[in-house]
Amino acid sequence: MRVVLAQPRGFCAGVVRAIDIVELALQKFGAPVYVRHEIVHNKHVVDGLKLKGARFVDELDEVPEGAVTIFSAHGVSRAVVDDAKSRGLPVLDATCPLVSKVHAQSRHYVRRGRTLVLIGHIGHPEVEGTVGQVQAPVHIVSTEADVASLEIPPDTPIAYVTQTTLSVDETRGVIAALRNRFADIVGPDTSDICYATQHRQTAVRELCRLVDVLLVVGASNSSNSNRLREIGVEEGVPSYLIADSKALDLDWVTGAKVVGLTAGASAPEELVLDVIAALRQIDEVEVTQMNGTQEDIVFRLPPELRDMPSGLAAVDA
């Protein structure tokens, strides 16, 4: 069996930064530190941080007075920020800088009197955080049909922003529908869409030309991981999302000559290696990596942690 690894795959810069923030906070301030929601959408990452002393909570009222508090990579609403300030909680913000950029764009558009449309998935933590960043109604759409059903007069000044875990391909049709319906509309350049999402989806499309089966390592609640599997299906390749090697059904790959393997942006490389080991249970495995984009972006840590040795050369987001 030949296993072809997608390039790039796995952790993006925003996820690396978020995990670094938790680990460095534990080193600097000691355990426990409290993290609001999963720092990233991966159980293995969360469980590993729990063992080191991180405690994950659903809401801030579960955080003791004065305890170091960390916001997840997905971002939070202004109400959560204000709640933490009112309680005097020392906060480290692990929000991905690309998500923070969407927050800033949203506030900018609303201040200028535009009605905000957010392209994203209702219920996703990032979407909830972005909606809570502006003091105005936000209209959430995910499909062209959603655009058609918007109860907004066509002459309304509109602005749109997008959930970062969507790609250019996913948003193109929705943006076109918005531009067709509203004459006075502005929005960010497509280059503002998360580079990591676009790179991983492009890699999977190319990978599907080479393989008989696609395996995507990632959590079931990870938007970008689910989308990678969906792309495989769109490309006509049997595709499966697995949390780890234990979730692998060997019947899926029995008889396959070439297996494609990738990982969502919050899935660690060790899980990919475990899947390869599991595949070796049924056949000899030759592992190759496709050519692809080499990512070298690193996001700056919060000021409180910049004196800590993380092994990363920080650059501004």
C-alpha 202/C-alpha 227 separation (Å) is 12
pLDDT of residue 263: 98
Q: Which residue has the higher pLDDT, 307 or 138?
A: 138
pLDDT per position as a tens digit, 156-174:
999 999 999 888 888 999 9
Confidence of residue 308 (pLDDT cuts 50, 70, 90): confident
C-alpha 244/C-alpha 239 separation (Å) is 15
Least confident piece of the model among 115-119, 192-196, 289-293: 192-196
* Count of H-run helices and E-run strands, the chain: 10, 13
C-alpha 178/C-alpha 292 separation (Å) is 33
Kindly tell me the burial class for residue 201, based on how many C-beta atoms sit within 10 Å of its own C-beta (0-12, 13-18, 19 or more).
buried
pLDDT of residue 237: 98
Domains contained in the chain, CATH given: 2-11+195-289 (3.40.1010.20), 13-96+301-305 (3.40.50.11270), 98-192 (3.40.1010.20)
pLDDT per position as a tens digit, 185-220:
999 877 667 889 999 999 999 999 999 999 999 999
Catalytic residue, chosen from 23, 38, 126, 128, is 126
pLDDT of residue 246: 96
C-alpha 68/C-alpha 243 separation (Å) is 30
3-state secondary structure of 118: strand
Beta pairing class for 185-186 and 158-162: parallel
pLDDT of residue 166: 86
- Annotated catalytic residue 206: no
